[in-house]
Amino acid sequence: MTIALTAAALFTPAERLEQPLLFLEGPTITEISSRKEREVPTGFRLVDFGDNVLAPGFIDIHIHGGAGYDVMDSSPEALTTIERSLARHGVSRYFPTTVTAPLDKILAALQRLADAIECAQSANSSQALRAQPLGIHLEGPFISHVRRGVHPPEYLVPPTLFTFERFWEASRGHIHLMTIAPELPGAMDVISEAAKRGVCVCLGHSDSDLSTTRQAVSFGARHATHTFNAMRPLDHRSPGILGEVLTDSKLTADIIADGIHVDPSVVRLFLKAKGPDSSVLITDATAATGMPDGIYHLGGFEVEVKEGMCLAGGRLAGSVLTMDRAIRNVIQFTECELKVAVQMATSNPARVAALETCGTVRVGGPADLVVLTAAGEVTNTIIHGAGI
Concerning whether 284 is annotated as a catalytic residue, the answer is yes
Residue burial 239-273, b: 16+ Cβ < 10 Å; e: rest: bbbbbbbbebeebbbbbbbbbebbeeeebbebbee
161 and 244 together in one domain: yes
d(CA 165, CA 175) in angstroms, rounded, equals 11
- pLDDT higher than 50, residue 281: yes
Report pLDDT for 126: 47
Mean pLDDT lowest among 179-193, 243-257, 305-319, 324-338: 305-319
Residue % of the chain over a pLDDT of 90? 93
Percent of the chain with pLDDT over 70: 98
Q: Are residues 104 and 249 in the same domain?
A: yes
For residue 357, name the pLDDT band (cuts at 50, 70, 90). confident
pLDDT at residue 2 in the model:
86
If you ran DSSP here, which 8-state letter would residue 148 be given? -
| The pLDDT value given to residue 127 | 55
Question: Nearest 10 degrees: CA dihedral of 207, 210, 211, 212?
Answer: 30
Residue 74 sits in the same domain as residue 189:
yes
DSSP class of residue 319?
A: B
The answer to which of 40-44, 100-104, 327-331 has the lowest mean pLDDT is 40-44
Q: Is the dihedral of CA 146, 147, 151, 156 positive or negative?
A: negative
The stretch 291-302 carries a mean pLDDT of 95
113 shares a domain with 30:
no
Q: pTM score, two decimals? A: 0.97
Q: pLDDT at residue 125 above 50?
A: no
pLDDT of the residue at 388? 86
Residue 121 has pLDDT above 90, yes or no: no
pLDDT (0 to 100) of residue 1: 63
Q: What is the pLDDT of residue 212?
A: 98
| 316 and 167 in a common domain | yes
What 3-state DSSP class applies to 182? Answer: coil
326 and 375 assigned to the same domain: no
Average of per-residue pLDDT values in the chain: 96
The single residue of 284, 293, 324, 368 carrying the catalytic annotation is: 284
The long-range contacts involving 12-16, CB below 8 angstroms and separated by at least 24 positions, are 12/56, 12/360, 12/361, 12/362, 13/55, 13/56, 13/339, 13/342, 13/343, 13/346, 13/347, 13/360, 13/361, 14/343, 14/347, 14/360, 16/339
pLDDT digits (tens, 9 = 90+) for 191-247: 999 999 999 999 999 999 999 999 999 999 999 999 999 999 999 999 999 999 999
Same domain, 348 and 333: yes
Instruction: For residues 322 and 296, state if they share a domain.
Output: yes
Domain that holds residue 195: 58-358
CA–CA separation, 106 and 156 (whole Å)? 12
Cβ(370)–Cβ(380) below 8 Å: yes
The sign of the torsion formed by the CA atoms of 96, 100, 102, 103 equals positive
Residue 69 shares a structural domain with residue 44: no
Closest among 102, 81, 178 to 135, alpha carbons compared: 178
Q: What gap in Å lies between CA 19 and CA 22, rounded to an integer?
A: 10
Output the pLDDT for position 331: 98
253 and 113 share a domain? yes
Let me know whether 205 and 108 are in one domain: yes
We report the CATH number of the domain holding residue 12 as 2.30.40.10
CATH of the domain at 172: 3.20.20.140
Number of domains the chain contains: 2
